[in-house]
A and B are shown apart, each in its own frame.
Chain A
């Protein structure tokens, strides 16, 4: 079945540092890929998505590129802020049922001033 493997956390960075959270996946079909973020005390929010190979999703300075050849969707940001502290989840869904998603374990990011 489908699976998502995320870089283990927690990750602690200083403000303005570069961020990369690795994500690789296994899927039977041709999935769509997502990054969700959960800020403290809030629900999951979609951060960005990509629906086909070589697509780049981007939002709030974060970006991730759908790499079919390496089955990866790594999350990157050039300069993190304290407000980026949250739990980040990589996920995929098959095209026939976008709501039934497979998630990774989540990576907790803490950004220190």
Chain B
């Protein structure tokens, strides 16, 4: 079974530019989550999709971030325009169920550096 795949693994952009991160969850996993780790601090929840619908986007920092999951398969997270404080590692995770402490499977992360 293929794991959660994220692309790109590392992106370096200048302030004001746009970046799009992609996540391919495990096939059949309806639940998809985005998290990020900034400046070596805690990993923070960004949002949660159930299929193509946004279940919870309470962690999205501001309207420069746009997440989509068209067709309920892969997801993209766009940052436009990027700011210095957006630098960090963006993790995607998926799971079959959102209850009963179901295990999350994480991707390797996309490291974003904004100069």
Contacts and interface: CB of A to CB of B under 8 A. Distances in A.
Interface size class of A (residues with CB under 8 A): 20 to 34
A31 B109 CA distance: 26
A91 B45 CA distance: 11
Contacts, number: 71
Interface in A71-113: 89, 91, 93, 95-106
B107 A98 contact: no
A43 B45 contact: no
A67 B49 CA distance: 32
Interface residues of B, number: 30
Interface stretch (B13-21, B68-76, B98-106): B98-106
Contacts of B45: 100-102
B91 to A, nearest CB: 7
Contacts of A105: 40-42
Given A97-B48, A101-B45, A101-B104, A44 B91 contact: yes
A42 interface: yes
A98 B101 contact: yes
Interface core residue of A32, A89, A100, A106 (most chain B CB under 10 Å): A100
B87 interface: no
A98 B99 contact: yes
B42 A95 contact: no
A101 B98 CA distance: 11
A100 B95 CA distance: 11
Contact of A99 (B40, B91, B104): B104
B94 to A, nearest CB: 8
Contact of B44 (A43, A96, A103): A103
A99 B93 CA distance: 8
A99 B102 contact: yes
Interface in B25-39: 31, 33, 35, 37
Interface of B: 3-4, 6, 31, 33, 35, 37, 40-45, 48, 56, 91, 93, 95, 97-104, 106-109
